[in-house]
Chains A and B, each alone.
Chain A
């Protein structure tokens, strides 16, 4: 059998047989304690600065961020965003309790459907489980309330994220995931699909020149619900100047 052949060849190379029980237990201990390595200092900063860093990094990667006072401000913010980008007032909303609890009646012209995404959907409203300040990365663990297709098929993705869900480094998200989530199938904590999203889709495959909107969303807009106080950040223009390559400019391609 191939499995035995592969494991046998590895053990021959390592000049030993199957690991003795004590050594195997040591490795299993490492898996159970999953020690952290070096965490870059950039996200080890006071809380308010962490939130500002998150915003700066989302904008550096061509996403946009709007701060709103609470969830009741979502309908107005969504409607205004669609109007500003000349998009039809039609959204697909994730079946997440926080989004479903919103009173949309103030915006009767906004057509809403609650489901996974389909081809032809222009705008989704998705719920982010966490944001990581280190790189402006959004975490989307899949579950019935958070279909992965909402991150992929629509041209525009609007994301609702609580400021209190912004973490400094990825490692904090792993610990939160381990503590909070229980997967009914595996008994572990990992969902079927965990997407870490940093900005809108892009490609630089054509002459190493960056273009946004390759297969996924062309625009990524974060509605940041200020459920904890944080200082205001600088203007988007300032942050853009920090960003390296702009769309239409030469950039190394990505796979």
Chain B
């Protein structure tokens, strides 16, 4: 499994803010996703209702997940495929290795899959002498750099063109080192010809799945490059990595989700390739794999069912939440310290790897609510992050100073008259202090005791004379009455 560096979120975030290259990449990318999504949504008047339907389809599926999984597995086997039920990442890695060994595989091509990152299958295969080759353009450079994706649909979100050129010169040593990349297209062309040979040579192809369809026993992948299709069509063996919540009952249900997915993700009406795979090569077919395996992974998800986090299992991994998140936009994906960044990661990661290590994540939110407002299946992400904060508090994982202060605040908050008295005194004192004759910068505070963290980055404006909001409100009401 990918190493969890979420405990160091604060340091990670600090480093990310100082990283000029990252900030340049984030700055360039900002806006593109937002504008395209907004345009695609505006062009489909039914979008809001499709979101409600998407939420309902997923809720229905989760409430009957055991049944649909069994129907799905039976249909996969009817089409000549095999389903490998895997409770843990370790089970899944072993199942993949066994299939590769049985196939005598030396190289394995891979389509983009976040489950693959979650179970860390690349390092595992490599340690066993099998070479995995990532074929999604973004994943390919990430693999060359020995990094992890910083975004769930745009793995190389954090890189600039200079990085691509330097990495390609470093990795493709058989080519002229002085070649010039006139345009981005030249980078793409080099990757295309390089990877074409890998596609043709691979013994096994591994893809993820955006959806699994119970009705037909199909797995669905959505790509724009066509790499996922080459991965699952050319090698003799196709392995699908899918987690249990990818399930939908019928083609009609999948269709509703597909109408939401590309629009929410890239702002396309539909991705270039939406491919349904159902079992093995049929008699007379001229291409397609002879073996079809589905690794059906749980890895902690079944434990979320029946809890307040069940709603997270509706997620279709479109990345709209991170694209619209001010925190993600400032620090990028790596700072979050595990596979899934952004708001969806801040809810999912504590569920899958434990809140002890990842407590910073649900706190790394301004609660602006943008993520929930763009989520295609209406997951209440801020509410779920708040649940994690509550659990942290209950389990005494929150630092002592915060606990003490929260306790103090709670004492006042539960006693309105004490609260009003305290705020009146506090605000009155601040107001007076701010306008004290010896103060140079009147009307604001550069520094305040106990609030150093806050005033480090900005001044605190002094309260206007005239008392608290409640006091003014009461006064205004009295005046209106008279």
Contact = CB atoms under 8 A, between A and B. Distances in A.
Interface of A: 1-3, 5-7, 9-15, 18-19, 24, 27-28, 30-31, 34-38, 40-42, 57, 61, 95, 115-116, 119, 134-135, 137, 142-144, 147-149, 151-153, 170-171, 174, 183-209, 211, 213-217, 244-245, 248, 250-255
A13 B281 contact: no
Contact of B215 (A31, A38, A185, A253): A31
26 contacts: A1-B85, A2-B91, A5-B87, A6-B87, A7-B69, A10-B244, A14-B305, A14-B306, A37-B256, A57-B269, A116-B286, A135-B269, A153-B230, A174-B255, A185-B279, A185-B283, A196-B270, A197-B272, A206-B187, A207-B184, A214-B224, A217-B226, A248-B185, A253-B154, A253-B157, A255-B154
Given A6-B244, A34-B251, A149 B188 contact: no
A18 to B, nearest CB: 7
A124 to B, nearest CB: 12
B273 A194 contact: no
A206 B137 contact: yes
Nearest to B257: A37
Contacts of A200: 272
A107 B268 CA distance: 39
B49 A208 contact: no
A174 B256 CA distance: 13
Given A9-B298, A10-B305, A186-B75, A192 B46 contact: no
Contacts of B28: 207-208, 250
Contacts of B131: none
A28 B67 CA distance: 9
A192 B281 contact: yes
A2 B251 CA distance: 27
Contacts of A184: 282-283
Main secondary structure of the interface of A (DSSP, over half): loop
Interface residues of B, number: 119
A156 to B, nearest CB: 14
B22 interface: no
Contacts of A203: 137-138, 188, 224-225
Interface stretch (B192-200, B451-459, B469-477): B192-200
A190 B79 contact: yes
B303 A254 contact: no
Nearest to A40: B46
B304 to A, nearest CB: 7
Interface in B224-257: 224-227, 229-230, 232-234, 244, 249-253, 255-256
A13 B256 contact: no
A254 B266 contact: yes
Contacts of A195: 229, 273-275
A214 B250 contact: no
Nearest first, the 8 closest Cβ-Cβ pairs linking A and B are A216-B226, A13-B305, A13-B306, A254-B224, A9-B302, A214-B225, A144-B284, A205-B138
A7 B70 contact: yes
A252 B298 contact: no
B81 to A, nearest CB: 9
B234 A149 contact: yes
Nearest to A4: B85
Contacts of A202: 224-225, 272
Interface string B2-38: 0000000000000000000000010011001100110
Contacts of B57: 37
Contact of B271 (A28, A134, A198, A244): A198
Nearest to A178: B251
Interface of B: 25, 28-29, 32-33, 36-37, 39, 44-46, 49-50, 53, 57, 63-71, 73, 75, 78-80, 85-87, 91, 112, 135-138, 141, 152-157, 159-161, 164, 183-185, 187-188, 192, 195-196, 199-200, 214-218, 222-227, 229-230, 232-234, 244, 249-253, 255-256, 258-259, 265-288, 296, 298, 302-307, 310, 323
Contacts of B287: 116, 142, 147-149
Contact of A148 (B215, B225, B229): B229
A214 B192 contact: yes
Contacts of B156: 205-206, 253
A255 B255 contact: no
Given A41-B45, A206-B156, 19 more contacts: A2-B87, A2-B91, A9-B303, A13-B306, A15-B306, A27-B64, A38-B50, A38-B53, A134-B269, A188-B78, A190-B278, A201-B225, A203-B138, A204-B266, A207-B29, A208-B154, A211-B184, A215-B199, A253-B266
B192 A252 contact: no
A37 to B, nearest CB: 5
A194 B37 CA distance: 27
A40 B112 CA distance: 30
Contacts of A147: 285-287
B385 to A, nearest CB: 21
A245 B283 contact: no
Contacts of A153: 230
Given A2-B91, A14-B305, A185-B282, A254 B271 contact: yes
Given A144-B286, A208-B29, A13 B307 contact: yes
Contacts of A194: 218, 275-276, 278
B296 to A, nearest CB: 8
Nearest to A30: B249
A71 to B, nearest CB: 22
A254 to B, nearest CB: 4
Contacts of B46: 38, 40-41
Interface-central residue, B138, B160, B222, B265, by most chain A CB under 10 Å: B138
B222 A214 contact: no
Contacts of B307: 13
B220 to A, nearest CB: 9
Contact of B279 (A192, A199, A255): A192
Contacts of A215: 135, 192, 195-196, 199, 225-227, 230
Contacts of A245: 36
Contacts of A38: 46, 49-50, 53, 256
Given A13-B304, A34-B250, A144-B284, A185 B79 contact: yes
